[in-house]
Amino acid sequence: MHSLEVIVNVLNKILWDYLLIILLCGIGIYYTVKLKCIQILRFKTGILMLFRGVSLSGEKAGKAGMSSFQAIATAVAGQVGTGNLAGPATAIMAGGPGAIFWMWVSSFLGMSTIYAEAILAQKYKTTDRNGQAVGGPAYYIEKGLNCKWLAAIFAVLNILALGLVGNMVQSNSIANAFHLSFGISNWVVGLAIAILVGLVVIGGLHYIAALNEKLVPLKASVYIIGAVLILVINYDYIFPALHLIFVAAFNPQAALGGAVGVSIQQAARFGIARGLFSNEAGMGSTPHAHAVAKVKNPEDQALIAMTGVFTVCVIVTLTGLAIISTGLKMLNLNGLPISEFLNFMGKNGTGIAVTQYAYELIFGYWGGVFISISLMFFAFSTIIGWYYYAETNVRYLFGSMRALRIFQFLMVFALFASSVFRVDLIWNMADTFNGLMVIPNVIALAILSPIVIQYTRQHVYQQHDAAQE
């Protein structure tokens, strides 16, 4: 077991500290340039299309797919998870407040990447032998690259990364949070999660889409209100927090003091890595949802897909500002120098514990309860979204309902089992499989880029410009 931990840690260091930052930022920069900053020029169009399609009780999803809003809700269900609560805290503790700036950079680049993923997912979507609409990286890798073995590798990694290992850590996070806040036994929470998820996934695409279109707006709105409330209370520290973010992004020692030992390279590395992990752009997860959106033109869903990354960026920013402004306020009240920022905020641990600590400093006990409940909503909807992505790849590999039922049983059992065990290694393995999953997807995004670029120039820019004349 120790040898496995060593291997996983080494792989994660290579993947998330270096390789994936280069690959995902590289493909993001490439698409941003080639698509003429589409995340800026067509952002308003995407937002308007998103709000036009908003519905909490839309048309029933079925074999033909789901509505555009249900698709973006399912995508955001996976994107807005525990990483949006723990990611900013982890980045800040490791790379300083400047890491938030680099999370913004990764989100900006990711918007163009996810646009490309959605275009390809729509272009190469198909139906399986049961008549179910399906699509995603495995399909555009096989059809676009004519490389079935690489598509199969992606499918296997996706099932492991999201459907099994990834969802196990989500279940464990919910169980631990509820045990700490309410004293409920982990196994009771795990059993409840397994039953609820089982009922949803057995119901099929209709239940998944119906749940996400209601739960995602609710969870995002409630959390945003809580974060904004902290910023209202900390209003005197909002601009100092923003100033600290920008200065620490380019000169951490000047912002925090030389004794802290945070460098620009660390701020960029941890900020970009956590940002990419949070928004999932380029990872090959959200295209499964965007592929089955019932839209008139592929670019319609692609423009809406960009708003998902923007939503993640908003939540990450609010979390980061809540942590930093609270830290600055408490430092000021206690007469501590800014160089003590990381030590002060990290006194209770790292990751989600830092976020919870920031909320408890402002709201007391109820701040911790708020984060626990938010975590439950975030993680539960992520489980549903990630299940759907894995289901798509089970259908791709096996194409039979029997295989799908076996997978559903394994996943539901894993959700219960993971709630009662320490899963430190499983957390790390999830990072590993997620990282490996990126590689075949980025290969496809790079090779198939002429298709995305040509399509965008013809259908997004030329037609729009002609309509304006």
Q: Is the pLDDT of residue 317 over 90?
A: yes
Query: What is the pLDDT averaged over residues 180-203?
Result: 85
pLDDT in tens, 34-63: 999 999 999 999 998 888 766 655 566 556
Q: How far apart are CA 13 and CA 420, in angstroms?
A: 28
pLDDT in tens, 211-248: 777 778 888 888 899 999 999 999 999 999 999 999 88
Neighbours of 224 (CB within 10 A): 14
7/81: higher pLDDT: 7
Q: Which of 85-99, 259-273, 279-293 has the lowest mean pLDDT?
A: 259-273
The candidate with the shortest Cα–Cα distance to 192, out of 211, 206, 178, is 178
- CA dist 261 → 41, 251, 350, 357 (Å): 39, 11, 18, 23
Q: Is the pLDDT of residue 325 over 60?
A: yes
Q: Is the pLDDT of residue 435 over 50?
A: yes
pTM for this predicted structure: 0.90
The per-residue DSSP string of 344-399 comes to: HHTTT-STHHHHHHHHHHHHTHHHHHHHHHHHHHHHHHHHHHHHHHHHHHHHHHT-
- Give the model's confidence band at 349: pLDDT under 50 very low, under 70 low, under 90 confident, else very high: low
- Give the model's confidence band at 112: pLDDT under 50 very low, under 70 low, under 90 confident, else very high: very high
How many CA within 13 A on the CB side of residue 413?
6
Q: How far apart are CA 125 and CA 134, in angstroms?
A: 6
- β-pairing verdict for 133-134 and 126-127: antiparallel
Q: Is the pLDDT of residue 469 over 50?
A: no
Query: What is the pLDDT averaged over residues 114-131?
Result: 90
- Give the model's confidence band at 348: pLDDT under 50 very low, under 70 low, under 90 confident, else very high: low
